[in-house]
Amino acid sequence: MLFVFLLVYLLAGLWIGFSLFAVGVTGMLLFKTNLPPVISIWDKIGGLVANSGWNSLNSWSLTALPLFILMGEILFRTAISTRLLNGLVPWLSNIPGRLLHINVVACSLFAAVSGSSAATTATVGKITLDELSRRGYDRSLAIGSLAGAGTLGFLIPPSLIMIIYGVLSDTSIGKLFIGGVIPGLLLASFYSLYIMLRAKMKPSIVPAAKETYSTSDKLASLKELVPVLLLVFVVLGGIYLGFTTPTEAAAIGVLGALILALAYRNLTWQNFKEALLQAVQTTAMICLIIAGAAFLAQVVGFVGIARGISEYIVSLNMSPYMLLVVLGIMYLILGMILDGISIVVMTLPIVLPIVTSAGFDALWFGIFLVIMVELSQITPPVGFSLFVIQGIAYEPVVNIIKATLPFLIIMILMVVMLTFFPELVLYLPNKMIQ
């Protein structure tokens, strides 16, 4: 019933954060007989709002969120991402599919300094799509690779969703970051492998005239690549080696992005102010959603919804793998109406206890959940990334869906691999320096 109210509030145009609060209040009013009659219902609601909001946002780990957002905004608004793409061109010229790989490589690198799939897709797509079409590359495959690789912003650390999942589930954010490395690199490799196979099977997807680059050209391009790669290494290497916490690494990342922008003479007061304002807006939006979800989670606990759902699922006697199939379908459906962060904060309080009681590791489930959220971003007909791409490619959604379908299938196969080989997620975190 509460899910129906949530749909009503969302379709009415209410902000997601306020919708979550409204659903929580509705649940308290509908099921107030389940609550202890110590004080009035409105006093109880007020107390829960204050308590849940404070507890969910009063987290040192959560301070990494606005810092990583700010780092990505600075890199985006100072054209450092353009330099990164220009530096990649000479290195991809001799691979089957040639520059069609640029979306995969660029998205992987930008995801490692952005943390947002929407930012990754929009930033890389604005630069690559028209340029690839101008050079004679197959536009459909360029769009599909952008849609698939753009979702890597959720999986390749630092990931905003991983930070939120870690805070809400009390899981180590550093271990989540490390757990996403192998799946992220594997997924990017599978995308490139598919592009190579397509190029071998249908050579016409790349232009006949081949651009050649000498060794000196490749070495010259390193001046565009090395600074960004060094920033990625400093930010993520500090976390992996145990030298910094994610929050400290995020602060270092912001400082590094500012230094790069100053060194390239791209930093102006105007774009710095725009980066700050956008980071504040994005952070405030996410925090409102987190607070609303925390309030709804407490309401769900008070009125016994989580317990009832858990008991119902247990009564179905589903195998652990069937449970994952059911949850996967649920996340794909939710992805049609909600953004990734909202999906995580809304469902985690109910889903996580069920999953862990079925024997799955909370760290492994975090990566599974991130990939399912990625899937939902490109699931037709209303995946969020599909509309981001439509806004920069000016193509009909039907064409974008057709181009994206092979990469959607690759992601589904990746989920199956992680399910049967959980060590792909757990190996590096288990080796992590404590």
Structure tokens at 38: 């110590």
Domain count of the fold of the chain = 1
Least Cα distance to 111 among 235, 226, 287, 222 occurs for 235
Structure tokens at 198: 């397509």
Integer Cα distance of 297 and 292 in angstroms: 9
Phi, psi at residue 267, to the nearest 5°? -90, 120
Q: Is residue 43 part of a domain?
A: no
Which residue would you say has higher pLDDT here, 180 or 395?
180
Out of 127-141, 189-203, 236-250, the most confident range is 189-203
Give the rounded percent of residues in the chain with a pLDDT score beyond 90. Answer: 8
Lowest mean pLDDT among 131-145, 335-349, 369-383, 385-399: 335-349
Q: Is residue 408 part of a domain?
A: yes
Integer Cα distance of 267 and 259 in angstroms: 9
Q: Is residue 35 part of a domain?
A: no
Q: Is residue 231 part of a domain?
A: yes
pTM exceeding the 0.95 threshold for the entire prediction: no
The string of DSSP letters for 44-93 reads HHHHHHHHHHHHHH--SGGGHHHHHHHHHHHHHHTTHHHHHHHHHHHHHT
pLDDT of residue 313: 66
pLDDT of residue 194: 93
Q: Is residue 14 part of a domain?
A: no
pLDDT of residue 308: 65
- What element of type H or E holds 227? helix 215-240
Cβ–Cβ < 8 Å for 404, 144: yes
pLDDT of residue 384: 67
Out of 28-32, 90-94, 252-256, the most confident range is 252-256
Cβ–Cβ < 8 Å for 145, 104: yes
**293 to each of 150, 263, 316, 362, how far by Cα in Å?**
26, 41, 27, 19
Cβ–Cβ < 8 Å for 149, 184: no
User: Which pLDDT tens digit goes with each residue over 268-309?
Assistant: 889 899 889 988 887 787 778 778 777 876 776 666 665 666
The range of the structural domain enclosing residue 120 comes to: 60-431
Integer Cα distance of 245 and 264 in angstroms: 28
pLDDT of residue 423: 92
Q: Is residue 412 part of a domain?
A: yes
Cβ–Cβ < 8 Å for 68, 160: yes
Where do we find the tokens 């992805």? 335
Q: Is residue 396 part of a domain?
A: yes
Does residue 403 carry a pLDDT above 80? yes
pLDDT of residue 339: 63
Q: What is the largest distance, in Å, between two alpha-carbon atoms of the chain?
A: 79
Q: Is residue 8 part of a domain?
A: no
pLDDT of residue 7: 66
Integer Cα distance of 72 and 102 in angstroms: 19
